[in-house]
Amino acid sequence: MNNKSNQPLFITLEGSEGVGKTSNLEYIKSLLDGAGIEYIETREPGGTPLGEALRNTLLGEDFKGMSDDTELMLMFAARAEHVAQVIRPALEQGQWVLCDRFTDSTYAYQGGGRQLDMDRIAGLEQWVLGDLRPDITLLLDAPVDIGRERAGKRSEPDRFEQERDAFFNRVRETYLARAKQEPDRIKVIDASKDLDNVQSQIKEVFDNLI
């Protein structure tokens, strides 16, 4: 784990649909507030006016049939803007960054789910991010049926949520494989448990961090 409390940290939250990222974001913010840490909260795709417009394009119905390569490049176009306009400036000013999804989502969804070439994704990552990587990533992990059931109760499915279980099983497997490759950065949280239990797992990670 990158424990360097005198440096602003770049924290990302990852996981498949409905695992509880939005629900736990508020809890993470309360931990940062409690520790008196200055931070910004942001999300992907999105985080800038252009990024939010691209989010609507990516998640909505208007361009439902876009090619997988187009989808990949729009994710990175939104990310390039986000990194240049929001993430790098915040870190340079000493603010921590709390981001709902980042490049691990691209590996999981476009690489795992859509089965695009991982090396191509790595090439785009290097081009767009240079040496910028999250310091800590919380991976909320739960079986696909649990996430689907939770997400289904909440709202109409977006373009990704309409994918089949096989897609989301590949997404989950890709996330878990990445966590295995980078155990210091990616902390797996068992999100199938109740919210109190999930939050105590998150607190344990933050107790080591703050």
- How many residues make up the chain in this entry? 210
C-alpha distance from residue 8 to each of 15, 66, 90, 206 (Å): 23, 37, 9, 14
Task: Tell the smallest beta-carbon distance from residue 163 to ligand T5A (Å).
Answer: 8
Alpha helices by DSSP H, listed for the chain, are: 21-34, 49-59, 68-82, 88-92, 103-105, 118-129, 144-154, 165-181, 195-209
Task: Tell the smallest beta-carbon distance from residue 36 to ligand T5A (Å).
Answer: 26
Place of tokens 């507030």: 33
Q: Which is nearer to ligand T5A, 9 or 124 (CB)?
A: 124
Task: Tell the smallest beta-carbon distance from residue 20 to ligand T5A (Å).
Answer: 3
Q: Which is nearer to ligand T5A, 48 or 106 (CB)?
A: 106
Task: Tell the smallest beta-carbon distance from residue 10 to ligand T5A (Å).
Answer: 15
Q: Which is nearer to ligand T5A, 64 or 153 (CB)?
A: 153
Task: Tell the smallest beta-carbon distance from residue 23 to ligand T5A (Å).
Answer: 3
Is residue 169 exposed (0-12), middle (13-18) or buried (19+ Cβ within 10 Å)? Answer: middle
Q: Which is nearer to ligand T5A, 71 or 135 (CB)?
A: 71
Q: Is 127 within 8 Å of 79 (Cβ atoms)?
A: no
The amino acid present at 128, given as its one-letter code, is V
Task: Tell the smallest beta-carbon distance from residue 122 to ligand T5A (Å).
Answer: 14
Q: Which is nearer to ligand T5A, 88 or 159 (CB)?
A: 159
Place of tokens 């990533």: 137
Virtual torsion, Cα 87, 90, 94, 97, nearest 10 deg: -50
Q: Which is nearer to ligand T5A, 93 or 148 (CB)?
A: 148
- Binding interface with ligand T5A (CB under 6 A): 15, 17-23, 44-45, 59, 75, 100-101, 105-106, 109-110, 150-151, 153-154, 160, 191, 194-195, 198
